[in-house]
């Protein structure tokens, strides 16, 4: 490794944010309080937005903050409050054979680590790539990816109508 | 920065999400674990986009975010319906289809 292209500041930032994200994700799947899990999920999602900024994706990071932290978390908290009589620690959040999850996750992670080390080894990201502008992104969406964009509009429409139909009482 | 450090972060989050989907009984918690999985996929898409110098990964990441929002909306509506009908959102009690 050459010291000049180590990008010390970015690497320190990546490490700190990644550690916070992993701790937050572990708390999401281990905590016994649904509201705490939702708030730890906010930490993970905000960390993901920071990683997107490190990956030169400003617009996606802003969208992540708006859509996930703004809208999806409100939905989760509403869902928690509408389906729970009490808010606090609970004892029966896990399956009775929950221990089967540990070997599955560990084996999956080992496989992924081996595959990634084989495939990408010590390849580097380009350190001088410009930030992707919103204009480039919109040229992509409304150019070659217009048809998926239409399909996505119909998916959102169907989801809105479906949510209303499912949850209205009559 | 290495490509692998972002891909490893994605792999860690993905495995934690899979663990949550397997372990949790509460339907809302399973939806949260699915959000973890979708975010790890987005990190991978953006890392590959930067590595290959193309904007396609950003487009896919935006589409994934939109589909995830739609999925959470419909999923929570289904959870509400389940709670209204049986006063519980435990996934292990939905066993009518067991043969």
What are the angstrom distances between the C-alpha of A69 and each of A11, A62, A73, A150, A162? 25, 10, 5, 25, 23
Please report the ipTM that was assigned to this predicted complex.
0.90
DSSP state of B87: S
Which residue is listed with tokens 């949790």? Answer: B24
Centroid of chain to Cα A65? 10
Taking the CA of residue A8 and the nearest CA in chain B, the distance in Å comes to: 9
Above 50 in pLDDT, residue A1? no
User: Do A87 and A32 meet the contact criterion of CB atoms below 8 Å apart?
Assistant: no
Q: What CA–CA distance (Å, rounded) separates A132 from A75?
A: 30
Q: Nearest residue of B to residue A29 by CA position?
A: B20
Residues of B with Cβ-Cβ distance to A167 under 8 angstroms:
77, 80-81
> What are the residues facing B24 on neighbouring strands?
A94
Q: Is A38 in CB contact (< 8 Å) with chain B? A: yes
Question: Is the pLDDT assigned to residue A29 strictly greater than 80?
Answer: yes
Confidence label for B91 from pLDDT (cuts 50, 70 and 90)? confident
Distance to chain A for B94, nearest Cα, Å = 13
Q: Which residue has the higher pLDDT, A28 or A83?
A: A28
Fold of A3-90: 1.20.120
Q: How many CA atoms lie less than 13 Å away from B32 in the CB half-sphere?
A: 38
Q: Say what the pLDDT of residue A6 is.
A: 67
The predicted pLDDT at position A41 comes to 94
With tokens 């869902």, the residue in question is A79
Contact at CB, B78 and A80, closer than 8 angstroms: no
In whole angstroms, give the CA distance from residue A7 to residue A14.
11
- What is the arithmetic mean of pLDDT over A55-84? 89
Of A108, A7, A117, nearest in space to B37 by CA: A108
pLDDT, mean over chain A = 87
Q: Write down the pLDDT at residue B84.
A: 85
Pick from A140, A81, A67: nearest CA to B35: A67
Min Cα distance A77 → chain B (Å) is: 10
Reply yes or no on whether the pLDDT at B41 is more than 60: yes
Over residues A32-66, the pLDDT tens digits come to 888 899 999 999 999 999 999 999 899 999 999 99
Tokens of A164: 């209303």
A81 confidence band (pLDDT: 50, 70, 90): confident
Predicted confidence band of residue A15 (pLDDT cuts 50, 70, 90): very high
In tens, the pLDDT along A92-148 reads: 777 787 888 899 999 999 999 999 999 888 888 887 778 888 999 999 999 999 999
CB contact under 8 A, B55 and A137: yes
Which of B3, B17, B90 minimises the CB distance to A124? B3
Q: Is A121 on the interface with B (CB under 8 A)?
A: yes
Tokens at A66, concatenated: 């708006």
Q: Locate all alpha helices (DSSP H) within chain A, ordered by sequence.
A: 8-30, 34-54, 58-64, 73-83, 101-120, 134-141, 146-167
Position A88 pLDDT exceeds 70: no
Nearest Cα neighbor of B7 from A121, A92, A8, A28 is A121
């Amino acid at each position: 490794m050459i010291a000049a292209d180590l990008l010390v500041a970015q690497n320190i930032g990546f490490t700190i944010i990644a550690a916070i994200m992993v701790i937050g994700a572990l708390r999401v799947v281990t905590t016994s309080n649904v509201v705490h899990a939702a708030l730890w999920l906010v930490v993970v999602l905000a960390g993901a937005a920071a990683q997107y900024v490190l990956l030169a994706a400003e617009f996606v990071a802003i969208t992540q903050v708006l859509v996930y932290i703004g809208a999806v978390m409100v939905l989760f908290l509403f869902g928690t409050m509408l389906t729970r009589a009490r808010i606090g620690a609970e004892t029966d959040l896990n399956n009775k054979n929950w221990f089967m999850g540990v070997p599955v996750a560990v084996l999956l992670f080992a496989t992924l680590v081996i595959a990634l080390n084989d495939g990408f080894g010590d390849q580097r990201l380009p350190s001088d790539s410009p930030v992707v502008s919103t204009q480039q992104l919109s040229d992509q969406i409304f150019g070659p990816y217009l048809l998926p964009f239409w399909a996505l509009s119909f998916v959102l429409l169907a989801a809105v109508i479906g949510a209303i139909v499912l949850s209205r009482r009559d | 920065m290495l490509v692998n450090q972002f891909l490893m972060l994605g792999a860690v989050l993905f495995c934690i999400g899979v663990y949550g989907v397997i372990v949790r009984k509460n339907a809302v918690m399973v939806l949260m674990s699915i959000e973890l999985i979708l975010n790890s996929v987005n990190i991978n898409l953006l890392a590959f986009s930067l590595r290959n110098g193309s904007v396609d990964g950003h487009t896919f990441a935006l589409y994934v975010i939109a589909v995830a929002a739609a999925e959470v909306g419909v999923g929570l509506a289904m959870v509400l319906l389940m709670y209204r009908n049986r006063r519980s959102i435990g996934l292990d009690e939905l066993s009518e289809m067991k043969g």
